[in-house]
Amino acid sequence: MSFARKLTFGIVALLTSLAIGTAHADFEPTKPIDFVIMAGKGGGADKMARLMQSIVEKEGLASRPLVPVNKSGGSGAEALVALNSATDPDHTIMVTLNSFFTTPLRQPGLGIDIMTFAPIGRMAEDTFVLWVHKNEGVNSFEEFLAEAKARGSGWVMGGTGSAQEDQIITDFLNDTFDLEIKYIPYKGGGAVAKDLAGEQIDSSVNNPSEALGFYESGDVIPLVAFTSERLPMFPDVPTLAEAGEDFAYYMQRAVVGAPGMTDEALAYYTNLFAEVYNSEEWQKYKSDKSLLGEYTSGDDLADYWQTQRDRHETILKASGAIN
Amino acid sequence: MEVVVLLLDGVWAALQPTNLGLAFLGVVIGLFVGAMPGLGSVNGVAILLPFTFVIQEITGTISSPMIFLAAIYYGAMYGGAISSITLGIPGASTAVATTFDGRPMALGGHAEKALVIAAIASFAGGTISNIIFTGAAPLLASVALKFGNPEIFALMLLAFATFIGLGGDDVPKTIISICFGLVMSAVGFDIISGAPRLLLFDSTEWFSRGIQFLVLAIGVYGIGEMLWTINSTRDSFKMTEANITLARVWQALKSFPEAWRGTSIGSFLGFFVGILPAAGATPGSLMAYGVTKMVSKNQEEFGKGRPDGVAAPEAANNSASTGAMLPMMTLGIPGSPTTAVLLAGMVIWGLQPGPLLFSEQPEFVWPLIGSFYISNVIAVVVNLACIPLFLKVLRMPFSILAPLIFVLSVVGTYAAYQNIYDVWLMLIFGIGAFLLRILDYPLAPAVLAIVLGPIAEPKLRQSLLLSDGSWMIFLERPISGPITIAAIILLLLPLYGFIRKRVKARS
């Protein structure tokens, strides 16, 4: 580790500790930390979690290892239940997606209140972009709207899961632009990307990290970004806001602690993931994969959750997924 | 010709002492995790992924850590057969089909033959698939893209058909067994609607992830087999002891040509199934077993210790694991759970797997491909050399072996997903399998169904969503049409045989 980076870490650690207060620094993990991943092996969340784990390992940031455990069942229900009933909350943390908001809303029977989870840190917000195959003959968002309208339910959108991020965006497009796009749910973003490249579906709203390989080879083209500002990676791709619709949608990539985590442990993990966030590897990954968002923790993160939860409740109610 | 030069460069790079050492280490670790019930290549690769950053730092290249992980992957494919044959518990999900004939061979006193066949067939499968991979990777990637939802469903239908259309087993019982496996595979959350299904007692802890295939497989083959052996032998259990002499191993080597048919079917079919995203080595090996049995003249000998029955799944799982590397490297899409973790590793090392990988990162790609060949050679040599050691397991008295199988089944099930409920389920399946076995139900079809069900069901429903509910989508498309028709013909074969018998009886 170079001196400059050591210095950065030191400053970040200092600032974080000042921000959180003085009642910490007492906690040190006494055994390996359960690092629950709310998705299956190989998906976007899994890749990110393993990157975080490897950074912690490589830089020697924690005295005990993070042990990744994939709990992908029931759109994250399995992972949420596991954290809610964790016997040792100080050694149980989880990497989350937006199913952190939607799954408890859709399955109240699980008895999950996300506001009881410990807000460790939001590492990034993933972005969504509308993609079509180059052979589709559609080169702009306007042409997409015209073509999708002409084909009605013959236009097929592939996406990950049902009543989750990709379908929320598709529903929004259908409602706002009076389209009848047919949504086909897949198990993961990789399968969607492959079927778009093979022209089995007409469009996708993959995260850039999922579509990048086929974008670079020229097989798929981005039409519009569902962000508030243009993405640095695709400077020529307009945002939906430019098309006159005030709609931006992101996927949270955050680390949360099990309910019941002590304040000391929360401070420790907040600090740990701040160091991960500031590492060269994470920053490189973030810009390479077109991720946005600053490191957010503590009360700010809890406020963010509350806003996101309410927003998803409104969206899901409007689409009839919940009542 | 250019490919040959690139490959030779790659092999040369893979033969450098560091890479060779890493490949050797990887193969040995792989053999171990493969042989441990419950731990498969996916666990080995996932556990050692962080370690590869150290390798990357020391060697300064990105191909060395990948060579290490790929060697674990191959080693595990060889290792899975060891416990399947000597203990009757599938060492890894990919080696389930190896127990079908490998275990009976061992019980009949030919364990060394089964182990030798498994090793050589694995080597053949690995090498044949490497050659196809080297020669035709970009071409095959475009074939994989042509397989959309209806095509993959048609292929799954064909796999089921090979199991029903075979003679030998009782057809109604086979169908019941398949249905049982399908119901088990439907437990969990519906992929299309997200609604919970078949959650007994509303228990999310038990069923939210669905019933994992390995839980059923270890229950059926570990606990179920053990109970069956206890029941059928009472206290007079005596296993025909396998003598460990070089002469017998040599004899086994010489008899390998008996298994040529299974080896060749396994090698080619395994590779093809492996390159299809979502499939992978487990379905590949089960399908290879089914097809080999179907084309064999001695179908009734399968399940009783037929060399082809050991060779087909072993050739196929090695071949499929190379095949699964293809979509990972050329399309950036994993073909199996293990390649999903490898893909995560590549991303962490700063690579962008995808259509441009071959042209932009030749210094990564070719040493890796070279190492596939080298790792296979290392794996077969290490494996053959260790056979006498593996056979020692068989010399244990059953009073020691039975508790060992029990403990390994429990630990293995827990190790796979760290979920205690899986262990209870596994024990329930074990007892259930034992009872079904007494009633003479074939259990392999249930295992096949729980592997293929979760692949087939979403593909079926995605296809029907595409076609607005019209079943013609499977017949109309150029690739799925012929496959579907072949599957339907196979499904109707037993009915035809039945009618012919009735007509003959009348005349």
**What does DSSP say about strands A156-160 and A182-186: parallel, antiparallel, or unpaired?**
parallel
Model pTM score: 0.80
Of chain A, the percentage scoring pLDDT greater than 70 comes to 91
For range B199-219, the mean pLDDT: 73
3-class DSSP state of A79: helix
Q: Highest mean pLDDT range out of A8-22, B43-57, B185-199, B312-326?
A: B312-326
3-class DSSP state of B88: coil
Testing the interface with A: which of B53, B152, B189 to mutate, by most A Cβ within 10 A? B189
Spatial separation of the C-alpha atoms in residues B305 and B240, rounded to whole Å: 14
CATH superfamily of A129-243: Periplasmic binding protein-like II (3.40.190.10)
Nearest to B310 by CA among B259, B239, B248: B259
Spatial separation of the C-alpha atoms in residues B210 and B231, rounded to whole Å: 31
Q: Cβ B333–A73 below 8 Å, yes or no?
A: no
To the nearest whole number, what is the mean pLDDT of chain B? 83
By Cβ distance, the residue of B331, B340, B355 closest to A42 is B340
For residues A228, A233, A235, A237, the Cα torsion angle rounded to the nearest 10 degrees is: -70
| CA B102-B103-B109 angle, 5° bins | 95
By Cβ distance, the residue of B191, B340, B353 closest to A213 is B353
pLDDT for residue A12 is more than 70? no
The alpha carbons of chain A give a radius of gyration, in whole angstroms, of: 20
Q: Are the C-beta atoms of B207 and B200 separated by less than 8 Å?
A: yes
B365-397 pLDDT per residue, tens? 888 899 999 999 999 999 888 888 877 776 777
For range A298-309, the mean pLDDT: 94
Residue A231 — φ and ψ, nearest 5°? -80, 135
Q: Cβ B327–A50 below 8 Å, yes or no?
A: no
Does the fold of domain A129-243 match that of domain A3-126+251-319? yes
pLDDT at B199: 74
Contact list, A69 vs chain B (CB under 8 Å): 418
Strand partners, A254: A96, A122
| Alpha-carbon distance B7 to nearest alpha carbon in chain A (angstroms) | 24
Burial tier of A229 (Cβ tally within 10 Å: 0-12, 13-18, 19+): exposed
Q: Are the C-beta atoms of A293 and A122 separated by less than 8 Å?
A: yes
Domain boundaries, chain A: 3-126+251-319, 129-243
pLDDT at A213: 84
| Closest chain B residue by Cα to residue A72 | B209
Of A22-31, A100-109, A169-178, A244-253, the poorest mean pLDDT is in A22-31
ipTM of model over 0.85: no
Nearest to A189 by CA among A173, A165, A225: A165
pLDDT at A158: 93
B2-29 pLDDT per residue, tens? 788 888 888 888 888 999 999 999 999 9
| Domain tally, chain B | 1
By Cβ distance, the residue of A68, A164, A190 closest to B333 is A190
Tokens 């089921």: give the residue: B160
pLDDT for residue B205 is more than 80? no
Which DSSP string do the residues of B226-264 spell out, in sequence order?
Answer: HHHHHHHHTT---PPPPP--HHHHHHHHHTGGGGHHHHH
A109-163 pLDDT per residue, tens? 888 999 999 999 999 999 999 999 999 999 999 999 999 999 999 999 999 888 7
The more confident residue out of B232 and A10 is B232
Q: Cβ A191–B277 below 8 Å, yes or no?
A: yes
Spatial separation of the C-alpha atoms in residues B335 and B339, rounded to whole Å: 6
pLDDT at B242: 53
Testing the interface with B: which of A200, A280, A322 to mutate, by most B Cβ within 10 A? A200
b/e map of B398-408 (b: 16 or more CB within 10 Å)? beebbeebbeb
Nearest to A43 by CA among B419, B334, B66: B334
Q: Cβ B348–A47 below 8 Å, yes or no?
A: yes
Tokens 């196979």: give the residue: B490
Spatial separation of the C-alpha atoms in residues B101 and B88, rounded to whole Å: 10
B53-98 pLDDT per residue, tens? 778 878 888 888 889 999 998 898 888 888 888 888 887 778 888 9
The CATH T-level fold of domain A3-126+251-319 is: D-Maltodextrin-Binding Protein; domain 2 (3.40.190)
3-class DSSP state of A204: strand
Spatial separation of the C-alpha atoms in residues A269 and A290, rounded to whole Å: 25
Nearest to B316 by CA among B71, B83, B128: B128
Spatial separation of the C-alpha atoms in residues B204 and A110, rounded to whole Å: 8
| Alpha-carbon distance A216 to nearest alpha carbon in chain B (angstroms) | 7
| Alpha-carbon distance A299 to nearest alpha carbon in chain B (angstroms) | 30
| Alpha-carbon distance A3 to nearest alpha carbon in chain B (angstroms) | 18
Q: Cβ A217–B465 below 8 Å, yes or no?
A: no
For residues A187, B475, B290, B135, the Cα torsion angle rounded to the nearest 10 degrees is: -70
B216-227 pLDDT per residue, tens? 888 888 888 788
| Alpha-carbon distance A262 to nearest alpha carbon in chain B (angstroms) | 25
pLDDT for residue B278 is more than 50? yes
Which DSSP string do the residues of A81-97 spell out, in sequence order?
Answer: HHHHT-S-GGGEEEEE-
The 3 state secondary structure assigned to B372-386 is: HHHHHHHHHHHHHHH
Q: Cβ A54–B42 below 8 Å, yes or no?
A: no
Contact list, A213 vs chain B (CB under 8 Å): 331-332, 352-356
Q: Cβ A47–B347 below 8 Å, yes or no?
A: yes
The token pair at B355 is 């259509």
pLDDT for residue A242 is more than 80? yes
The more confident residue out of B129 and B209 is B129
Q: Cβ A191–B205 below 8 Å, yes or no?
A: no
Q: What is the separation, in whole angstroms, between the first and last Cα of chain B?
A: 64
Spatial separation of the C-alpha atoms in residues A162 and B288, rounded to whole Å: 34
Testing the interface with B: which of A88, A195, A196 to mutate, by most B Cβ within 10 A? A195
Of chain B, the percentage scoring pLDDT greater than 90 comes to 19
The conformation of residue A238, written as its DSSP 8-state character, comes to P
For range B138-167, the mean pLDDT: 80
Write out the residue range of the structural domain in which residue B64 sits.
Answer: 2-506
Contact list, A47 vs chain B (CB under 8 Å): 343-344, 347-348
Nearest to B332 by CA among A126, A42, A125, A37: A42
For range A264-287, the mean pLDDT: 93
pLDDT at A8: 54
